[in-house]
Structure 1
Amino acid sequence: MDKLLYTAVSGANRVMAAQALKANNLSNVDTAGFRADLERVQALAVSETRVMSQLGSAGVSGKAGELAPTGRTLDLAVRERGLFTLMTRQGEAYSRAGHLELDPQGQLVQGGLPVAGLDGPLVLPEYRELFVGDDGTISVIPAEGGVIEEVGRLKLVNPEMAQMRKGLDGLLRPADGVPLVADDQVTVVSGFLEGSNVDAVQELVASMDLSRQFEVQIKLMKSAESLAKAGNRLLNDV
């Protein structure tokens, strides 16, 4: 009975963790640039006779989301593979979200974090018109007019998504912690935002399946309790 109860509790804990992951994916189905979290179940030995099933991170989905036109020049989407580079207090972090803005100092930011260029943060001068090339090059026509001037280029990277891990801030970082190098092959398109790559139907079906699994684990716990009570009655009758 003890082994049955332990197995049921371990399974129920794993299912609850998986349900939380699926719920987070579903809650971000409309979040621009969101990457769906993947799950991996692994066995964790806690004693010579006990093994607990544990939900581990299998990284994030590399599938591209749908592109939605916005008509805004600083709304950018990465074509196919690649990531934007952001600068945080802990170092570089990476994202597919491309809703870029200018702070009061003219610095390019995304979600309040500086956007990294090839040579550091990107600070734009006052301009009359702004252009973003396919390779991430940012050019402007100065406020006073004149010829087009190149003011910087986005740092675009292209890691293997299996090597990336998502932090609590929703940003991606390499599992080994080493900053990524820029990749000239990554391209962007201006005037579009990439939607979430969460498959809502698939996540919903998986959540329903997990709910049924949880019910099974609860029934096993009740069975273990009934067996334990029956065993105690037999001992009391002896």
Structure 2
Amino acid sequence: MNPTLDTVASGLEASQTMMDTIADNLANANTTAYKSETPEFQTLLYQNQTQPGADATGQTQYPSGLELGTGVKVASIKQIETQGTLTSTSNPYDMAINGSGYFQVQLPSGQTAYTRDGSFQVNQTGQLVTANGDQLIPAITIPSNATSVTVGTDGTVSVTEANSSTSTQVGQIQLANFINAQGLQPLGNNLYAQTTSSGAPTVGAPQTNGLGSINQDYLESSNVDVVQQMVSMISAERTYQLGTQVATSVGSELGYLANAAQGA
């Protein structure tokens, strides 16, 4: 392939990745605790024809070089870790983390996963679980005759049972934090898995070790800025269009040269 077309193709692929990422962000604009993503780009290798500082005339040096880029690549897709807005739900089993930290849940495989989606429910045995039935860690069981459930900002879970005027603590929510939360592996269903890049989790009660606090009756909204995403989409679309125009121009030039060669 023509080197110019190779360069253009890398730009088109980068623009497509940008559009795919924006589409995913907009699709999850209403997903609880979703963190928007953005691709990071890096230049490809350069063709150095003249090295900066190389000898020019024997007595002078080139103040700048002659270097031709060969395109762009997507280095990574990074999550934006800003806090989403906390929205009141009036549901006692809904919990939002105000600050850093993740809830811990146990998958059917026994693996521990992590989430900021605190839209918990009670299963048939009274345990707090996610919408998919994954059990909160540590396990917390709500008595069947509980008339009220209270979750403190420090994660203590207390209930008031029927025919009683006093509350009883039935559990303690613990949060996990990571030195590099962007290194977590997305699993889908608002869940993440630990990786060597994220490091081992630091686990503790809310409001300790820099962990966030718990807000009962609230959920964390997505941090997607829809307006900004639309602006980025327009920019990415325009960049893609310009890339295709360059490819068309190069194709026309190559066609002209081919016809000229045949007529010679």
Per the TM superposition, whether the score is higher than 0.5 is yes
Q: CA deviation at 1:219?
A: 0.7
* Equivalent residue, structure 2, for 1:98: 118
Aligned residues with identical type, % of pairs = 23
Instruction: Decide whether aligned partners of structure 1 residues 168 and 70 sit closer, same or farther in structure 2, where only a CA change above 3 A counts.
Output: closer
* Equivalent residue, structure 2, for 1:153: 172
* Equivalent residue, structure 2, for 1:130: 149
* Equivalent residue, structure 2, for 1:182: 203
Q: CA deviation at 1:102?
A: 0.6
Higher relative contact order (CA 8 A, sep 6+): 1
Q: CA deviation at 1:75?
A: 1.1
Find the aligned partners of 1:40 and 1:90 in 2 and give their Cα distance: 34
SS in 2 for 1:18: helix
SS in 2 for 1:131: strand
Q: CA deviation at 1:142?
A: 3.1
* Equivalent residue, structure 1, for 2:139: 121
**Worse-superposed segment, 211-220 or 29-38:** 29-38
2:33/2:84 contact within 8 Å kept: yes
Choose 1 or 2 for highest CA Rg: 2
Q: Any gaps of 5 or more consecutive residues in structure 2? A: 46-67
1:41/1:54 contact within 8 Å kept: yes
Q: CA deviation at 1:230?
A: 1.0
* Equivalent residue, structure 1, for 2:40: 40
* Equivalent residue, structure 1, for 2:191: 171
SS in 2 for 1:167: strand
Q: CA deviation at 1:146?
A: 6.2
Instruction: Decide whether aligned partners of structure 1 residues 50 and 206 sit closer, same or farther in structure 2, where only a CA change above 3 A counts.
Output: closer
* Equivalent residue, structure 1, for 2:256: 230
Paired residue type of 2:17 = A
Alpha-carbon displacement from aligned partner over 1:56-94 (angstroms, at most 9, x marks no partner) = 434311111111112221111111222222222372222
Paired residue type of 2:101 = G
Q: Any gaps of 5 or more consecutive residues in structure 1? A: none
1:128/1:144 contact within 8 Å kept: no
Find the aligned partners of 1:178 and 1:219 in 2 and give their Cα distance: 45
Q: CA deviation at 1:144?
A: 5.4
Q: CA deviation at 1:164?
A: 2.9
Tell me which stretches of 4 or more aligned residues in structure 1 moved more than 6 Å.
none
How many residue pairs get aligned? The number is 233
Instruction: Decide whether aligned partners of structure 1 residues 51 and 92 sit closer, same or farther in structure 2, where only a CA change above 3 A counts.
Output: farther
- Is 1:196 aligned with 2:215? no
2:95/2:216 contact within 8 Å kept: yes
Q: Please, what is the CA RMSD of the aligned residues?
A: 2.5
* Equivalent residue, structure 1, for 2:158: 139
Instruction: Decide whether aligned partners of structure 1 residues 194 and 58 sit closer, same or farther in structure 2, where only a CA change above 3 A counts.
Output: same
Instruction: Decide whether aligned partners of structure 1 residues 144 and 52 sit closer, same or farther in structure 2, where only a CA change above 3 A counts.
Output: farther
Find the aligned partners of 1:116 and 1:191 in 2 and give their Cα distance: 17
Find the aligned partners of 1:43 and 1:94 in 2 and give their Cα distance: 34
Paired residue type of 1:98 = G
* Equivalent residue, structure 2, for 1:84: 103
Q: CA deviation at 1:5?
A: 0.9
